[in-house]
Amino acid sequence: MTAKTQTERILDLVRRKGLVRGAELDRLGIHRMSLKRLVDRGLLVQRAHGVYEAAEPRMSEHSSIIEVMTRVPKATLCLLTALRLHGLTTQNPFEVWVMIDRKARKPSIDVPAVRVVRASGPCLSKGVQTLRVDGAAIRVTTVAKTVADCFRYRSTVGSDVALEALRDAWRRRAVRMDDLVAAAKTNRVATVMRPYLESLV
């Protein structure tokens, strides 16, 4: 494989994903020295350790989300950020909300601002889906899981946010009652959510 071919492959990947990690190139069999050459030529910019983007990056409303998920690939977008992605809130949180394992190291990211919540077991692993956002595959909680999370973390996000999320999801038919009940049980908030779920039917 020639250096030119590697350059083209890297730039194609960056154009598709917005951000690329050095580890991804390792899996594709592309030498990391090619990254350094592209940075030296001004075609790529190093955003953080091991994270690169085009010198004139494609900006979108989701750029900060994609950057965080590229730097913390095992995290799951949740709560206010998930609500925004599912179109269930008019708020545009300035922080990117992520859920990580209770034992995982907290991401050391200053910009963009990151808000971390922790979970374990089924509360962490169930109700997670992969969405394509600006060409990047990102992990985000499902609508039902997001609503249940808002109740679980209501002292953090506010009870009004939890109620608004539930009502909007139900009004827009974005979720089924069975899924809400299952997510409430998984998150151990079935008793808290029961009266609000009963009011919907």
Residue 1: the pLDDT is 43
Domain shared by 84 and 44, yes or no: no
Residue 2: the pLDDT is 47
- Say how many domains are in the chain: 2
- Residue 13 makes CB contacts below 8 A (sequence gap 6+) with 20, 24, 25, 28
Domain shared by 68 and 48, yes or no: no
Could you report the per-residue pLDDT of 25-83, keeping only the tens digit for each?
A: 777 777 777 777 777 777 777 777 777 777 765 545 677 888 888 888 889 999 999 99
Better-predicted residue by pLDDT, 166 or 107: 166
Domain shared by 34 and 76, yes or no: no
Average pLDDT, the chain: 85
Residue 157: the pLDDT is 92
At residue 50, φ and ψ (nearest 5 deg) are 75, 10
Cβ(149)–Cβ(142) below 8 Å: no
Better-predicted residue by pLDDT, 23 or 161: 161
pLDDT band at 7 (very low <50, low <70, confident <90, very high): confident
The answer on pLDDT for 112 being more than 80 is no
Domain shared by 158 and 110, yes or no: yes
Domain shared by 129 and 192, yes or no: yes
State the residue range of the domain holding 116: 63-198
Q: How would you class 187 by CB atoms within 10 Å of its CB: exposed for 0-12, middle for 13-18, buried for 19 or more? A: buried
Residue 194: the pLDDT is 96
Structure tokens at 82: 């998930």
Residue 151: the pLDDT is 97
Could you report the per-residue pLDDT of 114-136, keeping only the tens digit for each?
A: 889 999 999 999 999 998 877 77
> Sign (positive/negative) of CA torsion 178, 175, 200, 124?
positive
Angle between helices 33-40 and 3-17 (to 10 degrees): 80
Domain shared by 126 and 147, yes or no: yes
The answer on pLDDT for 13 being more than 50 is yes
Could you report the per-residue pLDDT of 78-110, keeping only the tens digit for each?
A: 999 999 999 887 777 778 999 999 998 887 877
